[in-house]
Amino acid sequence: MKSMIATTLLSLLMAGPLDAEDAPKAPLSAGAATSSITPDIGGDVVGGFLPFPCTHVHDDLYARCLVLDDGKTRLALVVCDLLGIHRSVSVEAKKRIEAQTGIPAANVMISATHTHSATSALGKYPRGYFSDIELDDYQQFLVRRIADGVRRAVNLLRPAEVAFGTVDIPEHVFCRRWFLKEGTMPPNPFGKIDKVKMNPGAGSPNLVEPAGPTDPTVSFLALREPGGRLISVFSAYSLHYVGGVGSGHISADYYGMYCEALKRLQEGGSADPPFVAMMANGTSGDINNINFRTPRPGKPPYEQMRYVAEDVASKVNGALAKATWQDKAVLGARYRELGISWRTIDGDLLEWANQTEAKTPPVEGKVDLPLAYAGRVQRLAKASPETKLPVQILRIGDACIGTTPCETFAETGLEFKKRSPLPKSFLVELAHGYYGYMPTPRHFELGGYETWPGTCNLEPQASVKVMDALLEMAEEVR
Ligand SMILES: [Zn+2]
């Protein structure tokens, strides 16, 4: 209420040219909070081909929440330590947030980091291909925890300055799709030969060259109390995950360790209200942390993810010291659901799936790739024609964050950075849903794991349609 009166007063005072549609009505304010989303021990850990039971929590999982307010528009950004979130979780969380805080659903961005050592927020296993599902117990818990986190961030809103920055950290990101020497490509689960291989074997003599670029840039938005300490840093890096956890462990992977490391670097981690760091996933569908040309020796659990997390945190911290701060920023948001089609399964492929299933008896706990893909193909063939593919644009001053609900390729993120009408733009993947990998049409033609039906579940032109929609929406908020 207080801020509404302040806003009205300010807009009265600021009548005239400054009261243009676009001008912020008040100094920016920001608040941030973390909300625990750690599951019970005993639930399923996801990330591999088959889920397995969690026996230990190495580090807690969080929904990290940031709320921004320019006196006219309020935005909420939420990053969850999860492999992915089903669209229905995002829909329900946004409903609850809107009812409790008044922040319109279209202004709320909810994404997952892609930690592979989390519980599933994607629904029951094996999963079908649906845009709407009924929420299970963990998903309902998650909806409440996300909404509470946003509410807590609203409670902590205070005057703020904003800065945008980037820092290039090429040394932790590698393309994981490779061309191999003639005659060395193994057949895929469908009995066909792809043009590229995912994770071809580090140091393999058969490597020719990677099939695509990496995006080495960490983009970040920082919020601080005027001239004072940090409130939050929202960052995005295009790294799939690091991995290397203990067996049966829950962990937020390098994303969580980065947040802790940046907090320590900033203030020893003891300020009240606490500084909230966030690391969203950029566009890393074809990127991982394995240097295939010059492999590193194996490390004990958590060592590599800690190494990456602390290195990225210290480089972002260095870039923060050089940031230029502003006390006003126009906020804006656009949200759309695209009727992109699920992938078409032709008669031959379905026949292959039916025959493979008929002749392969399942063995408990054993992964048989052709059998696993046969099941996925059969379920994909039953999907209703259109998805409700969520895409979103948030504008914060001259910065712009676009989102996709897919494991998106690095070249898509690079294209958005180049073509966006706003100068400081980047993409966040795995937002508002999980629709599998989204290769560009060029990568789709090359084949490989990320393009197989059951891994890649959308029509081949999906990335082009998503890009067109994002650029249109960015133009609208400019
Ligand atoms: Zn993945």
Separation of CA 420 and ligand 1 centre (Å):
26
Q: Which two tokens stand for residue 178?
A: 């490779």
Amino acid in position 16: G
Separation of CA 47 and ligand 1 centre (Å):
8
The answer to whether 375 touches 402, Cβ cutoff 8 Å, is no
The domain locations on the chain are 26-174+210-335+392-440+467-477, 347-381
Amino acid in position 435: Y
Q: In angstroms, rounded to a whole number, what is the distance separating the alpha carbons of residues 259 and 277? A: 5
Separation of CA 350 and ligand 1 centre (Å):
25
Q: Which two tokens stand for residue 165?
A: 């920055």
Separation of CA 475 and ligand 1 centre (Å):
30
Separation of CA 3 and ligand 1 centre (Å):
42
Separation of CA 10 and ligand 1 centre (Å):
47
**pTM reported for the whole predicted model:** 0.94
Buried b (16+ CB within 10 A) or exposed e, 259-296: bbbbbbbbeeeeeeebbbbbbbbbbbbbbbbbebeeee
DSSP SS3 for 398: coil
Separation of CA 459 and ligand 1 centre (Å):
19
Separation of CA 436 and ligand 1 centre (Å):
8
DSSP 145-192: HHHHHHHHHHHT-EE-EEEEEEEE-GGG-EE-EEEE-TT-PPP-TTS-
Separation of CA 240 and ligand 1 centre (Å):
6
The answer to whether 39 touches 61, Cβ cutoff 8 Å, is yes
Give pLDDT tens digits along the chain (478 positions): 334 444 333 333 333 333 345 566 678 999 999 999 999 998 888 767 777 889 999 999 999 999 999 999 999 999 999 999 999 999 999 999 999 999 999 999 999 999 999 988 888 877 889 999 999 999 999 999 999 999 999 999 999 999 999 999 999 999 999 999 999 999 999 999 999 999 999 999 999 999 999 999 999 999 999 989 999 999 999 999 999 999 999 999 999 999 999 999 997 777 899 999 999 999 999 999 999 999 999 999 999 999 999 999 999 999 999 999 999 999 999 999 999 999 999 999 999 999 999 998 888 878 899 999 999 999 999 998 899 999 999 999 999 999 999 999 999 999 999 999 999 999 999 999 999 999 999 999 999 999 999 999 999 999 999 999 999 999 999 9
On the question of a cis peptide bond just before residue 53, with omega within 30 degrees of 0, the verdict is no
Separation of CA 189 and ligand 1 centre (Å):
18
Residue whose tokens read 């307010």: 69
Q: In angstroms, rounded to a whole number, what is the distance separating the alpha carbons of residues 174 and 238? A: 10
